Structures are given as C-alpha cells and as structure tokens.
Amino acid sequence: MISVAAIRMQQFGVQFYQASLTANDIDKLVRFEVLSYGEQGQPVRGKNKEPAPTKVNWDLLERRIAASERAYQRQIIRKKIDELVQYYEQCRQARDLPSIPGAVIISCDEPLRFEPAFEGASIGTLKVPEREGILRAIDGQHRLLALHADIDRFGGEMFTVPAVIFDRLPDDHVVQMFVTINAKHTRLNPSHLVSLSGRQLYSDESLAAAHDIVRALNDREDSPLYGEIKLLGVGKGRVAQAPLAQELKKLFASDAFGPGRKGEAFREESKRFFVNYLKQAAQVFGAAWNGRKYSIKSATALRAFIRVSPDVVRRLDQEHADRTDFRAIGRVIAPWGRRIGDLRFETEGAWKRSGTTVESLAKELRLALQYPEGAVV
C-alpha cells in the first residue's frame, strides 16, 4: 500500500478523496489509454508529420499508452505533450510557478482504505494498493503523460500532484464524467462522443445500432466507404461519423424499419443491408461515386440515402425479398440511374444550382422509387 495525505469528500452520497500524489506515485500507478479501433485510431495524433525538435522520447512514451475499444480517452496530441514538457522545464528553471497547480481526476480499480486522523475526521491518510496501472486518468491524461516524459529530469527534487481520486467508480460513471468535463470546455469531437454514447456512456440501443453500422461501413473491405469514415473524428477519411450515426439513430428510434425490430440479430441484418445498399448506390451512380468533382459522399447526400432506406426496405418487403439481398436491392433502386443520374451530384453543377439539402434530395430519391418510369405526380 502507498500512504498519501488526503481529505475525504462527500457529494450527494458519493464519496471521493482529494489527495497528494508524488511524481513517482503517478509514474508507477497510473495507466494511460485511448479509445481506438485498430488501425483507424492510433494512440498519438500528429506523429506522422515532419519531426520537430522535441525533448520527449516518443518511442518510450508510446509504449506506455494502451489503445482499445473499451477505453474512452481521445488520441494523445503530440504537440500538446511537447508544449507541456517545455512548460515544465520553464517552471523548474524559473521556480516561480507550479506546473500542475490544479487537480487531476483519477479513478482507482481496487478498494481504497481511508484512515481518519481522529474519529469522524475528514482529513487523514489514504491507502492506495501499490500495483502498476491501478489508477486511470479521467481528466488530466496529457498533463500526467508529460510528467512521465519529463520525470527523468527531476533528479531527487520533491514533486507532488494534487489529485481527486474515486474509489472503483463504475465504467459508465467514469465515461459520463469524462464527457461532462470535455464535451463543452475542450470541444470533445462529436464523432468521439457518438462512439462513447452508443457503446459505453449509456445504454442507447438506437445509437448503438447506428454506431455498429457506421463501423461496418468503414471497416468492411467490401463496403463502398471502406476506410473513408473519420471514426472518432480523426483519420484520413473525408466522411464524418457523427452525421451518419445521428441520421441512423433517428430511424431506429422511430421504428422506421418495423416495430419490435431490435437486438443483436437486427443490428447484424442492418449492417449487411446498409453495406449492400450503399454498394448498389455506388454502382448506380458509378461516375459520381468514383469521381472527384461530385458531392455524393458528402454528409448531405449520405444522410439522404439513409433517410430513404426505409422506403427501399418496404419495397423489398413487398417483393418478399430478403432485406440484405444485394441483387434485390439493386432492382429496387435501379430507377435512380434513369430518373436522377450522376450529374445530379456534380458539385459545381446541379448540386449547387438546386441548393441541395438532405430533405430535398431524399424527396427526389423517393419520387424516383415511386414513379420509376417518370409518371407525372
């Protein structure tokens, strides 16, 4: 056990501690992790740019950063770590300002023990299990990583960090606190928030289904959007995750695909449907989909395709076809090629001239399904 001076706090039935951790405590006990989807989300952002002078040993630092789908923290920003390390150096040389004056927020995975200074006292000694990685940062991960990167230069100098420590905070509460702290003040990316909300922050079945579909569209090699979606708001893709997920969520929340269609089986069916549906759309509008001067992969166009998908599903049901049948989907949306065509998506042409919105494009797509031969309404 590590013994640290602490104050026991209580708010609305929740007990936590304000404590003083040494730099060595932080270095030993805190684990660093980021939310990542394999190659789509690397732990550190900015490392592929032209290397700039740095005092950080990035090879060693990156080994301390774990990445998984069960984490919640955003990518580590290389520039931010470099700037913090430089700031710590300045503080140490000038000796007129503390480098970490504000408390970091931490959760402990194992039970803590508090020994009051006297009976009923709120001040005392906090006993923290001495196990590597037992603490995880909720707020302050960049500050603590910079501390880890700079600790070898501290020599034997005493350095303590103010910390707010929670005892075995449930995972959903950890993520909710992280989002509450970051969503406004540091502009948490909407796409990152979608992943947390759909899978970790709370149980939202509609958003979870939407999240899974967006992941499938980006991750499956047979998807026409393979590798093109900016999962967590970062990456090389040009298609944003959040608008697609929110559009899908609305459909699932409204039972647009039929009442009672929920659960894991429905999500699997939906993933197959949307991958095949957009594959067929990519074939119908082949020139636009593969061209550079078209807006067919914009958030507006993709949301319109999603918004019309219940109409496509109804046609499939009327034909007694499997909703995931690639060829059947192609037969249903074939009129789009005749009635709408590639030029409709030309950015400097019809797209801009008509002031395209999600609803206006969705209306055109629906009309083409209803009147495939161009009948007058």
| pLDDT bucket at 212, cuts 50 / 70 / 90 | confident
| pLDDT bucket at 249, cuts 50 / 70 / 90 | confident
| Structure confidence at residue 193 (pLDDT) | 57
221 pLDDT more than 70? yes
Q: What does the pLDDT average to over 254-279?
A: 83
29 vs 155: which has the higher pLDDT: 29
| Structure confidence at residue 331 (pLDDT) | 95
Tell me what the pLDDT averaged over the chain comes to: 82
286 pLDDT more than 80? yes
Q: Which of 217-231, 259-273, 284-298 ranks highest by mean pLDDT? A: 284-298
- The secondary structure of residue 346, as a DSSP letter, is B
Q: Where does the chain show beta strands of DSSP type E? A: 2-11, 14-22, 30-35, 44-45, 65-68, 76-77, 104-108, 113-116, 123-128, 135-139, 160-167, 229-230, 239-240
Contact 214, 248 (CB under 8 A): yes
| Structure confidence at residue 318 (pLDDT) | 93
DSSP symbols for 91-102: HHHH-SS-S--S
Q: What does the pLDDT average to over 299-318?
A: 94
38 vs 145: which has the higher pLDDT: 145
- The secondary structure of residue 73, as a DSSP letter, is P
Lowest mean pLDDT among 119-133, 190-204, 254-268: 190-204
pLDDT per position as a tens digit, 88-104? 888 877 777 888 988 99
Q: What does the pLDDT average to over 162-173?
A: 83
| pLDDT bucket at 202, cuts 50 / 70 / 90 | very low
216 vs 373: which has the higher pLDDT: 216
Structure tokens at 19: 């404590």
Q: Which of 31-35, 52-56, 158-162 ranks highest by mean pLDDT? A: 158-162
Share of the chain above pLDDT 70, in %: 79
**Distance, CA of 178 to CA of 17 (rounded, Å):** 18
172 pLDDT more than 60? yes
| Structure confidence at residue 376 (pLDDT) | 47
| pLDDT bucket at 3, cuts 50 / 70 / 90 | very high
* Residue whose structure tokens are 């020139």: 287
**Distance, CA of 82 to CA of 55 (rounded, Å):** 7
199 vs 156: which has the higher pLDDT: 156
Nearest CA to 207 out of 223, 215, 68, 36 is that of 215
| Structure confidence at residue 68 (pLDDT) | 66
CA angle 183–68–128, rounded 5-degree value: 80
70 pLDDT more than 80? no
How large is the angle between the packed helices 263-284 and 299-318, nearest 10 degrees?
Answer: 110
| Structure confidence at residue 158 (pLDDT) | 87
Q: What does the pLDDT average to over 47-76?
A: 65
Lowest mean pLDDT among 96-110, 227-241, 287-301: 227-241
Q: What does the pLDDT average to over 274-285?
A: 96
| Structure confidence at residue 71 (pLDDT) | 65
| Structure confidence at residue 238 (pLDDT) | 80
For the question of whether the overall pTM of this predicted structure is more than 0.85, the answer is no
| Structure confidence at residue 377 (pLDDT) | 41
Pairing mode, if any, of strands 229-230 and 113-116?
A: unpaired
Pairing mode, if any, of strands 160-167 and 14-22?
A: antiparallel
| pLDDT bucket at 223, cuts 50 / 70 / 90 | very high
Alpha-carbon distances of 361 from 36, 190, 276, 293, rounded to whole Å: 34, 24, 20, 18
